[in-house]
Structure 1
Amino acid sequence: MDKDFLTIALPKGKLLIDSTQLLSKVGIECGHVNEDSRKLFYDLPDNKVKIIICRPTDIPTYVEYGAADLGFVGKDTLLEENKDVAELLDLRFGYCRFVVAMLETSVPPKLPSGEYDLSLLNHQRVATKFPRVTESFFSSIGMQVTPIKLHGNMELAPCVDLSEMIVDIVSTGKTLRENHLVEVAPILEATTRLIANRVAYRMKYERIRDLVEALRGYLQAEVSAK
């Protein structure tokens, strides 16, 4: 483990720009990381930082095994992958929601509280990219389900009778509505988190602490300015 450098894993895709902009705000200038989508490794010697670009679902693995000291990863991925890492800070971007959804023609009646009465449903098949989160949620409400793992286009599954329900991440809910699906239960809200390898957190504590405090200070100032 190189004690002089911090290796930070950032997610490919839509969260990369937000990640690099946030690092730049605290003095780690890495805007150029967004310019070449084929390059996956960057040295920033002035900051003694190395940046690696990973699939979002792989970041907890890179951090757990020490290939990266730190990682930016969605809380949704963190829960599903269930890796042994330290969660240090809510970075407050990449907001999304985990929800249960069904075809609008299949939803159960509502309770007086306004919630859908899922207890009226028999054993359900649930299409999802997140079987661990799915099983945990339904177990918590005493409902047995069969998760069916898919890798995309969850909305299709109820339409072709592959499943009765889906568990998916939504931002606005527009895609659900376009496919005649209705949210029947919220599961949790998720944002991007800063995670650390547990050994690196001890060995490089001062460097990691300084970065965490800089990020926390910037984020708090942003909230205060609104």
Structure 2
Amino acid sequence: MKNIVIALSKGRILKEIILFFKKNNIIIKENIKKTRKLILSTNNKNIKIIIMRSVDIPIYIKYGFIDIGILGKDILKEKKMKKKNYFFKNLNISKCRLSLIVKNKNKYFDNIKNKKILYIATKYINITKKYFFKKNINIKIIKFYGCIELCLLLKISDAIIDIIGSKKTIKINNLLEIDKIIKISSKLIVNKISYKFKKNIINKILKLKI
């Protein structure tokens, strides 16, 4: 049987993905918190694991450097990955949403009413452009990573577009979620060329119990 390489996203969804694999008897041998290895072994000699930034997974999948990737729907939308080019499986784990968040709701809508240019802080450039284009609202995007809520607290932007898992951070900082843009859960995506040549083992991954 041929070997496959699966890329897992770093960050908030990693713990749930590892539990998903354990549930299906695929166990990473190394301690991921301590190891310096970049390609990790599992208890299945034909399955290797790479842990990387979710935004990097699409390019690795596109050019066939990895066979399978697991990442959030937000990244698939942002990178414009179309179903016709890949196989997808919805894992229904790590559920959250991409939302529009403001500090002052009245001021935000007053600015729209007065046709002022809105400053939007986000790392989701394509999703943000599409969202405001549909609403015919003029914006300038501030590309921002890290603690994006600070853009509202320091009055750098009029709004932010970011992931919400729980509402703890926005509640503590008196921020308001005023629109839910995308419902997000983790997706398993497969390179179609990989599937053609490694169909048997990839089908086993696609049939894993959620």
Measured against the shorter chain, the TM-score band is 0.7 to 0.9
What's the TM-score, normalizing by structure 2?
0.86
Given the alignment, which residue of 49, 52, 56 partners 2:50? 52
Amino acid at match of 1:167: I
Q: Deviations over 1:118-170 (max 9, x none)?
A: 96363311001111111111222232322111012221112323211111111
Given the alignment, which residue of 159, 163, 182 partners 1:165? 159
Amino acid at match of 1:41: I
Q: What residue number does 2:113 align with?
A: 120
Q: Deviations over 1:50-83 (max 9, x none)?
A: 1111122211122112111001111112222234
Q: What residue number does 1:112 align with?
A: none
On the 8 A contact 1:75/1:190 being kept in 2, the answer is yes
Task: Find the aligned partners of 1:70 and 1:78 in 2 and give their Cα distance.
Answer: 14
Task: Find the aligned partners of 1:105 and 1:186 in 2 and give their Cα distance.
Answer: 15
Q: What residue number does 2:13 align with?
A: 15
Name the count of aligned residue pairs: 207
Task: Find the aligned partners of 1:212 and 1:118 in 2 and give their Cα distance.
Answer: 48
Amino acid at match of 1:177: K
Offset of 1:190 from its aligned partner? 0.5
Given the alignment, which residue of 142, 145, 152 partners 2:136? 142
Kindly indicate whether residue 37 of structure 2 is the aligned counterpart of residue 39 of structure 1: yes
Q: What residue number does 2:28 align with?
A: 30
Amino acid at match of 2:131: F
Misfit runs of 4+, over 4 Å? none
Q: What residue number does 1:97 align with?
A: 97
What's the TM-score, normalizing by structure 1?
0.81
Amino acid at match of 1:207: I
Name whichever of 92-101 and 18-27 sits farther off.
18-27
- Identity among equivalent positions (%) equals 29
Offset of 1:4 from its aligned partner? 0.5
Q: Secondary structure at the match of 1:36?
A: coil
Task: Give the CA RMSD over aligned residues.
Answer: 2.4
Q: What residue number does 1:133 align with?
A: 127
Task: Find the aligned partners of 1:61 and 1:33 in 2 and give their Cα distance.
Answer: 26
Q: Which segments of 5 or more consecutive residues in structure 1 lack a partner in the other structure?
A: 110-116, 220-226
Offset of 1:33 from its aligned partner? 4.8
